Structure 1
Amino acid sequence: MKAANSSTSIYENVNPKLIYPDNHGKSFISEDEFYSTLDKNIYEEYINAAFSMRQKITFKDLPDIEEVFNQKTRNAYKKMNLQKQTHVDPNRQVYFFASFHQNETEEFHKFVVIDAETKVELMGGNSYHKYFNPYK
């Protein structure tokens, strides 16, 4: 086990298999700047999206920001579980991008989480379901 110092988080001491250590003290470009350089094969917002989010946050804040996205898009998915993501320090900076598109009969949701330092995709997903307009 490493000795604790100012650049080592408590989490790193407990988890020696950590691939993405704490980097909250480092500075990275804004989420909009990063999105503008992002390979659109990795992630692209829906054309005519009803709602999209771009956030630079710490890894531990992912469930909360995902919940905001789900509330704004009325997506009924359960909160993101990070317990299996033990290779990422909770204070690691990441970019969270999410997009929502809806038409008369369908709804599409997608998201991606990208490490701010290495630019590696850590997780992502999408969903589709039929939309039944209650006002028709």
Structure 2
Amino acid sequence: MKKLTFIAYILTISLSVLMGNSVNTKAAYSDNGYINPSNKEKVFSETVDEFYKAIRELKYPVHQVYYQKYIQMPNQEQRHRHLDTKLFKDMPDASVSFRKKVLFSEVEEFNYLIFYGNSIRPYPDIDISYHKAVSPERQVYFFYSFKDTAKEFMGRYAIYDVETKVILAAGNTYMPKSPPK
């Protein structure tokens, strides 16, 4: 009898979990299939520079979580490099630094061409089709900073959602350049 009651209990919990997950999944996605649907028509009063300042001051709870996560990394050099990318910080003496509020689909237009040996490479080379959860019509803050010299290229970028303040993509790179042949 106890075994039958236990099986019925497990079956009831399993069904409720299954039913609950399907409801939550449908609620998480919008009608067009994006977790972060278009917000092109919404007006947000925060400027790009105000948001940049808020990142640096850890104004939002989501950025405080990033800070706590990376401050606990064991390697100090690695920790600061990640922190400057995740909580975007302009590079000192950068060739180019900019901050823009754009639609997610417009991010691809900001690739910079790097002459690397005998080839040309784009940076940051962001493919928005890879980010299936974010609508191309979603407003984002795009931060980009790089230093391009004859000897090396260093760059970092970050893309934040305007509405949720969550980072959608980020990266940094360092490429030593080979001398011309």
TM-score (norm 1): 0.73
Aligned pair 1:94/2:140, yes or no?
Answer: yes
Structure 1 CA distance, aligned partners of 2:153 and 2:53?
25
Aligned length: 117
In structure 2, stretches of 5+ residues that fail to align are 1-29, 58-82
Spell out the pairing of 1:110-129 with structure 2 (5 A cutoff). 110-129=156-175
Computed over aligned residues only, the root mean square deviation of the Cα atoms, in angstroms, reads 2.3
Higher relative contact order (CA 8 A, sep 6+): 1
The structure having more radius of gyration, on CA atoms, is 2
Which protein is richer in helix relative to its size? Answer: 2
**Distance change in 2, residues 1:51/1:133 (3 Å):** farther
Aligned pair 1:53/2:66, yes or no?
Answer: no
Q: For 1:43, which of 83, 88, 92 is the aligned residue?
A: 88
* Structure 2 counterpart of 1:63: 108
* Structure 1 counterpart of 2:48: 31
Deviation above 4 Å: which 4+ runs of structure 1? none
The Cα of 1:60 is off from its aligned counterpart by: 1.1
**Distance change in 2, residues 1:48/1:133 (3 Å):** farther
Q: Could you tell me the percent identity over the aligned residues?
A: 30
- 1:5-39 deviation per Cα after TM superposition (whole angstroms, max 9, x unaligned): xxxxxxx5341xx2211111222222122112213
Paired amino acid for 1:32: D
Structure 2 CA distance, aligned partners of 1:19 and 1:80?
19
Structure 2 CA distance, aligned partners of 1:133 and 1:52?
26
Q: Secondary structure at the match of 2:42?
A: coil
* Structure 1 counterpart of 2:31: 13
Structure 1 CA distance, aligned partners of 2:127 and 2:163?
22
Structure 1 CA distance, aligned partners of 2:121 and 2:98?
17
